[in-house]
Chain A
């Protein structure tokens, strides 16, 4: 053996420096671990996290007003909402186009329901007006056709507004009708001169593409297009029309002359004749307040506030229900958690201090309800608690309760509390048990031998050591309780329901999905906060089951 003096870095067998070699091994290990985790992570992100994110987005999303009434919203920006006057003619002119296109796409009822959440009654206004609004378009179309019959033809509109390439592709599609129609592309320059017509035509082409039966060039043009074109022709300067390239400018000029010769339509008067509610500034205020694409309105509604043109105000007293419901959810969850603790602590203590064989047998009594279907337990409580149920029958038989005055134990808060305490009790006992199992019984004996009374020994020595278990169990119970839906729905009646029942109501009955999403987001925030606390106290890695 010879001593070699190695001045360079330490090397691995293959000659690479040890540091590099180790780093490479570590990196490979990391990549392998990640590769194992990745499929599940992607799965959870797509099937769980994305839906939650979608819900969060929905709680602020409000594009429907902006998308359905683009011309109206643009014109309405100039109107002062605090004035008692109704907005000017341009707003009604815009509405005439928007409402017609919306009615063609059946979007006006959806818009009506959306605005109805904010101002009850608006829904029927939109529904009824949507039925008659194409009178405007029919009259305008008659005028256009009188000037030139070519306007009856869908191809005229397509040639005017679409690029030549699009028209070509569209014609080719019309020949065999396979696949999707080509997406609409606007002719350059048209957007500046004929903005309203172009907007309406883009919707028309998209609608034809979606229905997929007839080419946009062959479909019968919407009357809304006529209204839009008439308005555009009145507004446009003659020289800008003739400057348009690649189209039949003569046709446009001819039509423009005919339109100019006719008397202008009084949209405002016609709308008022259709429904006098269109003269109400309140309707216009609602539309204006909810025209931005994103709104805090749903969140405000979920804490009993509302957004008006004057700012944020409280809702009328008879409509304030959500704060009460949140408060009730919180205090009932706390009460249920407390009941679980009260019942769970002695049982956990007993289980932790009995001989292992006895404790295992008794543990089955805790685990059996834990493994039994939630609906089985809820139906059992329904059977036990109802007026003609087992407990009432027993009390009547014992003579403790008169047959005519059976106790109402179900469909109220009592029912929810007792059933949920039973359902969540194992979730309290199991963490308490696992903490108490680690407290040596000799501590209590030592305390007693040092002269402590049984109570002092328990309170000063045992109890403080069991606090982590209490924290873990309580937070777990509380998190589970505030999100409960099934049990309160079945045994809670009207007074014993939680915020989650309201969310379900908005999803399946009132269809106010934005409000449901906002309520859900608030609840989620509360739960995540508790989850964070739980992680700090117990650590998510230490959750044990069974």
Chain B
């Protein structure tokens, strides 16, 4: 197998790689220097160190070995300055700097631009990627930062010196313990896991039927029906909550008087109804999207072979649209599980859900247990996201599309 490669001249070491690496080192040195009240020393030391490091590292033939050496050298320097945490920070910085040195010296930095690109274009291309990287950082950093903070041994919302020094005493699981034992948190957790599944079942069963109805070729007033069914997603939650606050109180009183149900039970009924209707647009959207790719001749074939509509639905149509139904269910579940405004207005104290408790926690007595809860919820959403992603790929495979 012969690959056609175009040989670009390797960039000059002294005229390109070393100065740029020195610049990067100077920047990092400035940051460390200002923190230690001597920016100028930091800049100079950083520049010299980075240039030397680059020189050493690129002389290795094998990249891995070179990077390892870079990490080890800087880690050792870091350990001399600030102990364990210094070694860790140093190793990371060393990895970054040696990666940067390789990236520059091997010409990788222009690997993804056309060969005819001018240096300015190459610079722009790489700065653009840096900007995008920063935006991704902006997106993900707030979600990630709560995770280490949730293991804080103190009741603070920031990194304590002990945590920064990687001292095991700075970390503890006490906030998690609080979350799983304190009734202030366990009761809302139980409520959330009662209300969300019920609301999901209600919205998925009604929503799937309606989506199948809507996907038929002749539906009178299709647009108007669609607009009504999607509206819970479009109308701001605060308005839905205001309307429900007035109406559900009356509805609850009426049911209490005429059906003789207990107030507590009715509270759950009201919240479940409200959450179910909020989840419906998501079910409708995902299921109709799956039905668009559904091959109608399959149902006709089933009918041709003598299957009744119910049998056709469960044996032919349902298995094929199941991925869409499940991801719709997950959307409905997360909508209910995450929802605060409506439950705040419609529910009473005995229906307090997890987000409600977090909301009051953030507004009034701010307790670090919230961060432990947040971490658990992040793990939970990663699990949900993975499931949805896998389902989406499966559905595309079933429908004969390539996963994209």
Contact = CB atoms under 8 A, between A and B. Distances in A.
A456 interface: no
B299 interface: no
Given A523-B239, A524-B235, A541 B142 contact: no
A366 interface: yes
B213 A37 contact: yes
A382 B370 CA distance: 11
Contact of B381 (A44, A47, A368): A368
Contact of A48 (B31, B143, B231, B337): B231
B132 A51 contact: no
Contact of A490 (B124, B142, B363): B363
B280 A347 contact: no
A149 B273 CA distance: 56
Given A39-B209, A388-B157, A398 B239 contact: no
Interface string B105-122: 000000000000000010
Interface stretch (B61-69, B91-99, B178-186, B284-292): B284-292
B166 interface: no
Contact of B242 (A40, A393, A517): A517
Interface string B172-212: 00000000000000000000000000000000001101101
Given A49-B228, A388-B156, A390-B145, A379 B371 contact: yes
B146 A383 contact: yes
A541 B242 contact: no
A432 to B, nearest CB: 13
A362 B157 contact: no
Most buried by A among B121, B138, B213, B389: B213
A425 B285 contact: no
Contacts of A540: 226-227, 230
A367 interface: yes
A440 interface: no
B341 interface: yes
Contact of A375 (B139, B230, B358): B358
A235 B362 CA distance: 64
Most buried by A among B206, B207, B274: B206
Contacts of A523: 236, 238-239
B156 to A, nearest CB: 7
A375 B340 contact: yes
Contacts of A483: 235-239
B254 interface: no
Contacts of A516: 242
A373 interface: yes
Interface in B235-283: 235-248, 250, 273-274, 276-277, 280, 282
A379 B243 CA distance: 28
A490 B225 contact: no
Contact of B220 (A30, A367, A377): A30
Q: Could you say which interface size class chain B belongs to?
A: 35 or more
A378 interface: yes
Contacts of A52: 235, 239-240, 243
A160 to B, nearest CB: 31
Contact of A350 (B129, B149, B327): B129
A32 B213 CA distance: 7
A379 B385 contact: no
Interface in B120-163: 121, 124, 128-129, 131-132, 135-136, 138-140, 142-143, 145-146, 149, 156-159
Contact of B139 (A366, A399, A513): A366
Contacts of A346: 128, 131-132, 135
A371 B384 contact: yes
A26 B217 CA distance: 10
Interface in A471-513: 479-480, 482-486, 489-490, 500, 503-504, 507-508, 513
B138 A422 contact: yes
B135 A376 contact: no
B135 A51 contact: no
B213 A36 contact: yes
B388 interface: yes
B334 interface: yes
Given A372-B377, A541-B288, A347 B135 contact: yes
Question: Chain A contact residues: over half helix, strand or loop, or mixed?
Answer: helix
B249 to A, nearest CB: 10
A51 B246 contact: yes
Nearest to A180: B257
Nearest to A29: B218
A364 interface: yes
B374 interface: yes
Contacts of B129: 350
Given A368-B381, A378-B362, A546-B327, A393 B213 contact: no
Contact of B136 (A40, A347, A513): A347
A397 to B, nearest CB: 5
Nearest to A517: B242
B34 interface: yes
B213 A35 contact: yes
B304 interface: no
A58 interface: yes
B131 A500 contact: no
Contacts of B229: 40-41, 44
Contacts of A53: 243
Most buried by B among A50, A365, A479, A546: A546
A485 B238 contact: yes
Contact of B385 (A368, A373, A374): A368
Interface string B322-360: 000001000100100110110001000000000100110
A365 B143 CA distance: 10
Interface string A47-90: 11111111100100000000000000000000000000000000
B371 A383 contact: yes
B8 interface: no
Contacts of B146: 376, 379-380, 383
B382 interface: yes
Contacts of B128: 346, 350
Nearest to A392: B158
Interface string A329-361: 000000000000001001100100000100000
A378 to B, nearest CB: 7
A447 to B, nearest CB: 14
B331 A545 contact: yes
B170 interface: no
A34 B213 contact: yes
Contacts of B18: none
Nearest to A36: B213
B399 interface: no
A381 interface: yes
B234 interface: yes
Most buried by B among A36, A346, A372, A422: A372
A527 interface: yes
A366 B135 CA distance: 10
B315 interface: no
8 contacts: A36-B212, A37-B225, A55-B242, A346-B131, A508-B345, A516-B242, A545-B285, A546-B389
Given A33-B216, A40-B280, 14 more contacts: A30-B218, A33-B214, A34-B219, A48-B231, A55-B242, A343-B138, A365-B139, A368-B140, A369-B143, A371-B381, A374-B355, A382-B366, A393-B159, A541-B226
Interface of A: 26, 29-30, 32-37, 39-41, 43-45, 47-55, 58, 343, 346-347, 350, 356, 362, 364-369, 371-384, 386, 388-390, 393, 397-400, 422, 425-426, 454, 479-480, 482-486, 489-490, 500, 503-504, 507-508, 513, 516-517, 520, 523-524, 527-528, 531, 535, 540-541, 543-546
Interface of B: 31, 34-35, 37, 39, 121, 124, 128-129, 131-132, 135-136, 138-140, 142-143, 145-146, 149, 156-159, 206-207, 209-210, 212-214, 216-220, 225-232, 234-248, 250, 273-274, 276-277, 280, 282, 285-286, 288-289, 327, 331, 334, 337-338, 340-341, 345, 355, 358-359, 362-363, 366, 370-371, 374, 377-378, 381-382, 384-385, 388-389, 392, 404
